[in-house]
């Protein structure tokens, strides 16, 4: 798909007024947050800059916790998170920034179980009970019946399972633990659902990149990561048993199915883990940009508004190529209307 290389009239007018001519220094914006969508964000910011050569958008992939804290402190122009901000975080933002915060879904993605088993070439099936048991430290061997019963044709080793999890405040962890809390009462009563939990067992890695590195280096390990990272690093993606009882592998189509039956609230803060639907992948999520309602710098405001409109239009077509699911049309329409709230 070819995108015309023109500046939008709104952005061009702001920048020409602020800079005096189109040859002046670019407008710089900074953002920080989730590693989950970093591959698509890197693509988007690069492609947007090709269209708007006066604009540079710098994004620091540091985890959702960092995205929420930095946009609240005002050290970045926007944040990014795979976990909607909690009511108390929104109140802190209002108190600190003297304005509200808006959540804009960007794409949908999947968190997948991935593992390193040298002599197992098959892609494994995982039940909710098996995943909860592994990360609770109660399923300790790869040939435990909790895993073996869902993989009758696979010869699993009698090796100890090495659990790997995120060490930082992570939206990917939130999505995974949100899912575990829905399918396991023991998990819900214990570690619970959060960006950072007290993990019962395992090694910690920073970012999806760090987790992938540990899995690659550690025989008999298992972890959770965003689908794109597992695919890019040629690690297996386990299929997960969904609410309908089917083992479903993560894909843009199965993530779209997870969102299909979930109404979108006006503030866009919604969970789609363990969704209904025969073909729904159960560990799926929207990911959000966090934008202040009031942006005093008119040139930055114009760029953010223009980028959001571009992201909801041509940008969506780039998502499947990086194994993300595009936003549903109804969500895009709702977001296009919400952009007007940025002042």
CA angle 227, 1, 105 (to 5 degrees): 45
Q: Are residues 158 and 206 in the same domain?
A: yes
Q: Are residues 200 and 117 in the same domain?
A: yes
Is residue 271 in some structural domain? Answer: no
Q: What is the CATH number of the domain that holds 16?
A: 3.40.190.10
Tell me whether residue 202 is exposed, middle or buried, using C-beta atoms within 10 angstroms of its C-beta: 0 to 12, 13 to 18, 19 or more.
Answer: buried
Q: Distance (Å, rounded) from C-alpha 71 to C-alpha 53?
A: 25
Q: Distance (Å, rounded) from C-alpha 268 to C-alpha 90?
A: 14
Is residue 160 in some structural domain? Answer: yes
* Domain of residue 146, residue span: 110-260
pLDDT in tens, 301-343: 999 999 999 999 999 999 999 999 999 999 999 999 999 999 9
CA-based R_g, the chain, Å: 21
Is residue 274 in some structural domain? Answer: no
Q: Are residues 102 and 119 in the same domain?
A: no
Q: Distance (Å, rounded) from C-alpha 307 to C-alpha 62?
A: 21
Is residue 218 in some structural domain? Answer: yes
**Inter-residue contact 134 to 222 (CB < 8 Å):** yes
Q: Are residues 169 and 87 in the same domain?
A: no
Q: Are residues 119 and 241 in the same domain?
A: yes
The residue written with tokens 């430290």 in the block is 137
Is residue 245 in some structural domain? Answer: yes
pLDDT confidence bin for 9, thresholds 50/70/90 = very low
pLDDT average, residue stretch 291-309:
97
Structure tokens at 301: 């405001």
Q: What is residue 253's predicted lDDT score, i.e. its pLDDT?
A: 95
Tell me whether residue 266 is exposed, middle or buried, using C-beta atoms within 10 angstroms of its C-beta: 0 to 12, 13 to 18, 19 or more.
Answer: exposed
pLDDT in tens, 36-47: 999 999 999 999
Number of domains in the chain: 2
pLDDT in tens, 49-62: 999 999 999 999 99
pLDDT confidence bin for 161, thresholds 50/70/90 = very high
Q: Distance (Å, rounded) from C-alpha 143 to C-alpha 269?
A: 39
Q: Distance (Å, rounded) from C-alpha 22 to C-alpha 16?
A: 6
Q: Are residues 45 and 83 in the same domain?
A: yes
Q: Are residues 99 and 206 in the same domain?
A: no
- Grouping H, G, I as helix, E, B as strand and the rest as coil, residue 58 is strand
Return the closest-CA partner of residue 84 out of 256, 289, 264, 260: 289
Q: What is residue 4's predicted lDDT score, i.e. its pLDDT?
A: 42
**Inter-residue contact 51 to 315 (CB < 8 Å):** no
Return the closest-CA partner of residue 313 out of 48, 79, 9, 12: 48
Is residue 48 in some structural domain? Answer: yes
**Inter-residue contact 103 to 269 (CB < 8 Å):** yes
Is residue 276 in some structural domain? Answer: no
Return the closest-CA partner of residue 159 out of 223, 89, 230, 221: 221
């Amino acid at each position: 798909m070819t995108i015309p290389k023109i500046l939008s009239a709104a952005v061009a007018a702001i920048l020409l007024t602020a800079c005096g001519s189109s040859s002046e220094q670019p407008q710089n914006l900074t953002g920080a947050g989730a590693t989950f969508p970093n591959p698509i964000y890197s693509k988007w910011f690069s492609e947007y800059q090709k269209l708007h050569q006066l604009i540079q958008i710098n994004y620091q992939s540091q985890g959702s916790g960092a995205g929420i804290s930095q946009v609240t402190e005002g050290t970045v122009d926007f944040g990014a998170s795979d976990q909607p901000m909690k009511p108390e975080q929104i109140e802190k933002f209002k108190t600190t920034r003297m304005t509200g915060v808006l959540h804009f879904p960007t794409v949908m993605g999947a968190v997948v179980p991935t593992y390193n088993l040298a002599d197992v070439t098959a892609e494994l099936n995982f039940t909710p009970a098996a995943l909860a048991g592994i990360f609770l430290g109660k399923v300790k061997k790869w040939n435990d019946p909790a895993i073996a019963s869902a993989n009758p044709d696979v010869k699993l080793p009698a090796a100890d399972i090495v659990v790997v999890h995120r060490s930082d405040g992570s939206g990917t962890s939130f999505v995974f633990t949100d899912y575990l809390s829905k399918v396991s009462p023991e998990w819900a009563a214990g570690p619970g659902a959060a960006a950072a939990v007290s993990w019962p067992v395992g090694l910690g890695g920073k970012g999806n990149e760090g987790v992938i590195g540990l899995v690659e280096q550690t025989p008999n390990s298992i972890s959770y990561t965003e689908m794109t990272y597992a695919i890019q690093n040629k690690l297996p993606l386990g299929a997960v048993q969904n609410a309908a009882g089917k083992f479903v592998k993560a894909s843009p189509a199965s993530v779209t199915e997870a969102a299909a039956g979930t109404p979108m609230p006006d503030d866009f803060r919604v969970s789609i883990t363990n969704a209904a639907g025969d073909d729904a992948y159960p560990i799926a999520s929207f990911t959000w940009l966090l934008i202040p309602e009031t942006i005093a710098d008119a040139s930055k405001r114009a760029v953010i508004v223009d980028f959001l409109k571009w992201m909801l239009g041509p940008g969506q077509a780039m998502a499947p190529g990086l194994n993300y699911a595009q936003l549903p049309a109804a969500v895009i329409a709702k977001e296009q209307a919400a952009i007007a709230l940025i002042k």
